[in-house]
Amino acid sequence: MIYDIYLPSSTYNHITNNKVCKIYYTETNIIQGNDCPYQTPPTMTLNSPENNSQVSNINATFNFTAIDNIDPSISCSLYLDSALNRTNSSVYNGSTTFFVVSKLGFGNHSWNVNCTDTDGNSNMSERRTITVGYVADADNNGKVDDFELLAYISTWASGKVSDFDLLSAIDQWAKG
């Protein structure tokens, strides 16, 4: 059901997010004053690593883009396994942001990002899962070089990776 409510032209105080702001009413318009907090939270796009991907335990790079309708910078935090890992309080609106985490433990881990704008509006991204293990391309540059292959062969010799994974690494190395 829709109601038509007619208020006399005036200025009213309105409480939003525990802040008082001015709402200006005229007979035909409602205008929110500049001192009112914006109520739309930032949105985040997780760029990498992809969900269910495998990463090296040397360095895992978490990459996302945060967008807010108003603020030029936003505070964003990385959560690993539901625990706060690190925060960047000056993420530039619309730009790609990187968090590099060293020496993650082997196994499955979840990650997501929470961002908050200056009005206190916050949003949690989707949660992704990664598997930390031995990967031949340890520096994540898209190629397996000679030193990485030798290190991977040593890892294979100690029984920590399968024959199939070693053959895949050799194939990556051969493709240069």
Rounded to whole angstroms, the Cα distance separating 129 from 82 reads 11
DSSP-assigned beta bridge partners for residue 19: 16
Q: Is residue 156 part of a domain?
A: yes
Of 38-42, 55-59, 69-73, 167-171, the range with the lowest mean pLDDT is 55-59
CB-CB contact of 162 with 135 (8 Å): no
Q: How many separate domains does the chain show?
A: 3
User: What is the widest separation between alpha-carbon atoms in the chain?
Assistant: 82
Same domain, 32 and 12: yes
Euclidean distance between the first and the last CA atom of the chain, given in angstroms as a whole number? 67
By residue range, what is the domain housing residue 31?
1-37
> Which pLDDT score, from 0 to 100, does residue 85 have?
97
Same domain, 58 and 72: yes
pLDDT digits 0-9 by tens, 8-60: 444 444 444 445 555 555 555 444 444 555 678 899 999 999 999 888 766 78
- Kindly provide the b/e burial profile for residues 149-164, where b requires at least 16 CB atoms within 10 angstroms of the residue's own CB: bebbeebbeeeebeee
Residue 97 sits at φ, ψ, to 5 deg, of -120, 140
Domain containing 48 — which CATH number? 2.60.40.10
Same domain, 53 and 113: yes
Q: Rounded to two decimals, what is the model's pTM?
A: 0.64
Q: Is 38 exposed, middle or buried (0-12, 13-18, 19+ CB in 10 A)?
A: middle
Same domain, 67 and 119: yes
Q: Is residue 139 part of a domain?
A: no
